[in-house]
Amino acid sequence: MKTTLSHSKAQGASQNSNCGGIRGTFRLCSQWLALAVGSHWAFLLAAASIVVWALLGPVFHFSDTWQLVINTATTIVTFLMVFLIQNTQNRDTKALHLKLDELLRGVVGARTSFVNLENLSDEELEKLQQEFERVQSRAAKSRTAPLDRGSSPSQKKALQEKADV
C-alpha cells in the first residue's frame, strides 16, 4: 500500500511538471489529436468531406474556387499533420530508447556502453554493425566447426542435433 501511494504521488508530480506552459499544452493536445485523427471516425469524416465536396461540384460549376477549397483544406491539414506526426514519433522513439536503456542496465553481462547508442554518428553505428556481423559469422562458424575437426561419429551426431535445435 505504501509503495502504491508513493508511486502514485511521484506519478502525479511528474504529470504536473509536464503539464505547465506551452510545451505541456502542446504535448497534451498532440496526444489527444493523434488518438483522434488515427481513429476510424476521422477517416470516415475525411471521406465524407470529399464526397460532399465532389457532390457540390455541379452546384458551383466545377469552378476554380470549388477546386481551391479542397486544395487549400488538404494543404493546411497535411502541413499541420506533419508536425503532429513528428511530435508523436519523437515521443514514442524517446520512450522506446529509455525502456531499452533500462533493460540494458538491468541485464547482467549486457554492455551498458550501448545505452544512448542513438547519439552515435552514422560512421560509429556502421562500425558497430560490422562488429556484430563479424560476431554473428564467428558464432555460426563455431557451431559447425566441431563437425569439421574429425570428431567421432557419435560426437558429430550429438553436435549436429544440438545445432539443429
- Give the whole-number percent of the chain exceeding pLDDT 90: 38
- Range with the poorest average pLDDT among 3-17, 56-70, 100-114: 3-17
Please choose, from the candidates 116, 91, 75, the residue with its C-alpha nearest in 3D space to the C-alpha of residue 28: 91
pLDDT score, position 141: 83
φ/ψ (deg, to 5) at 151 = -70, 160
Any idea where the domains of the chain sit in the sequence? 22-114, 120-165
More confident residue, 44 or 117: 44
pLDDT at 25 > cutoff 80? yes
- 145 pLDDT band, cuts 50/70/90, is low
With 80 as the cut, is the pLDDT of residue 39 above it?
yes
- Whether the per-residue pLDDT at 119 is higher than 80: the answer is yes
Burial class of residue 49 (count of CB atoms within 10 Å of its CB; 0-12, 13-18, 19+): middle
